[in-house]
Amino acid sequence: MLKKRKQAGASPPGSSLSAQRRRGKPGIRPSGPTLKLEMTLEELTTYLNELIENSPVAILMLDPAHRVRLCNPAFERLFQYGRDELINANLEDLIATRELTQEAVDIWQRVLRGEKVYASTKRRRKDGSIVDVEIHGIPLLIKRKLIGVYGIYHDVSQRKEAEMEVRQLSARLLQMQDEERRRIARELHDTTAQKFVALNMNLTRLRELCATGGAEVDRVIADSQNLAEESARELRTLAYLLHPPTLDDIGLTSAIRWYARGFAQRSGIEVNLDLPAELERLPRDIETMMFRVIQEGLTNVHRHSGSRSATIRLAADAEQIVLELSDQGRGMPAKLQGATVAEVGVGIAGMRERARQLGGRLEIISDQSGTTLRVLQPQPEVED
């Protein structure tokens, strides 16, 4: 039996032919799972290449020396370079401006350390124009060894332009709101409040004329006088809250003192002031912004914090003006500290937008021991 099997050319287990088949020697076509695996890898490679090549997002691959090894047509269109110009070139020599070279180096070094990096920045096209981009840097690691980097670039220029238009519109709306408040406050103070004064004078004269009219007439006139005086006071307060004349006439510190005193009387919350004895007048827009922050901030202290006291600090140096409002209340939820108008309404977002429109920024520091609103406003440039 054994001899016949050898003569028929059969190879027993362990023979060289069986070993060749198992090892996949040249000339022997693999079958079964091995063939299936090779086809799967080939398909995956094809899918990946097609995905990169046809993606509308700009994609490239760099080697560890920062040379371009692969790029897709979307990248070529975005930065206006041909593939021949990009392959083997140092990427940042082509698309980074001089001002952004250090930023580009920092991003590259972070990716080399194995980090996945996201950055919103600008880059330069071949024609010298600047494009707003979001960059995703993704390290390619095999057995913890960096073999390259994927760079994904999203052109966000249109979105940035839309955001700028929205900010400009927001700034204009805030300006119009302040102008309308100023106008209404002036009308209430100069016209309607004066009519209440005249009404009170007429009631006083009527009281003199009706001195013999009896106790009932005297009581009605006295009640009317009290109502007229109370209405006049409320009207003046409303006018001052809309836009205190001291803000235009005397300045920010006087307006803060006046508002804090009235707020303490109305709310029962003690307001401590740490204000400079003298502060040079600031541009009207900046003083209005800071006063509105105090108004909104103290309103939030009263409504939400539970604090029985608040402190307002104002300081200035050659570089910036710093305004702080702090309380000792229950704090603000973290998710609201950076929230948008759509999430929390116009209060916090409105304060932040007011500061940003004037080149400043609003910081919110909050925990279980209290909240601090801080406005950091650069000193305005002095005109020659």
- Determine which helix (DSSP H) or strand (DSSP E) holds 273, and give its type and residue range: strand 270-274
What average pLDDT score do residues 43-62 get? 86
Q: Does 297 share its domain with 278?
A: yes
Same domain, 140 and 160: no
Whether residue 191 is contained in a domain is answered as: yes
Q: What is the DSSP string of 186-250?
A: HHIIIIIHHHHHHHHHHHHHHHHHTTTS-HHHHHHHHHHHHHHHHHHHHHHHHHHHH--HHHHHT
**Shared domain check, 197 and 281:** no
State what percent of residues in the chain have pLDDT above 70: 80
Residue 198 domain flag: yes
Amino acid at the residue 306: G
C-beta atoms surrounding 58 within 10 Å: 21
How far is residue 55's CA from residue 136's CA, in Å, rounded to a whole number? 15
Is 345 a residue whose pLDDT tops 70? Answer: no
For residues 190 and 59, the model is more confident at 59
Indicate whether 13 belongs to any domain.
no
pLDDT at 19 over 60: no
The token duo for 176 is: 């119009």
How many domains, in total, are found in the chain? 3
**Which whole number is the average pLDDT over 4-31?**
44
In a domain, 21, yes or no: no
Does one domain contain both 251 and 222? no
Burial label for 263, CB within 10 Å (0-12, 13-18, 19+), is buried
Mean pLDDT is highest, among 195-204, 245-254, 265-274, for: 265-274
CATH at residue 363: 3.30.565.10
Answer yes or no: is 295 within a domain. yes
Say whether both 298 and 235 belong to one domain. no
Amino acid identity, residue 141? L
77 is in which domain, residue-wise?
Answer: 28-155
CA neighbor of 33 nearest in space, from 22, 43, 44: 22
Task: Indicate if 297 and 364 belong to the same structural domain.
Answer: yes
- Of the three residues 208, 243, 278, the one that is the final residue of a domain is 243
141 with 165, same domain: the answer is no
Q: Do both 58 and 96 map to the same domain?
A: yes
* Residue 90 DSSP label: B
Residue 94 within a domain: yes
d(CA 301, CA 347): 12
4 is a domain residue: no
Domain end marker among 117, 139, 155: 155
* CATH code, domain carrying 46: 3.30.450.20
Q: Based on the fold, state whether residues 290 and 380 are members of the same structural domain.
A: yes
pLDDT tens digits for 130-175? 999 999 999 988 888 888 899 999 999 888 888 777 777 776 776 7
Q: Are residues 205 and 94 in the same domain?
A: no
Judge if 266 and 311 occupy the same domain. yes
Within-domain flag for 89? yes
Last residue of some domain: 119, 138, 155? 155
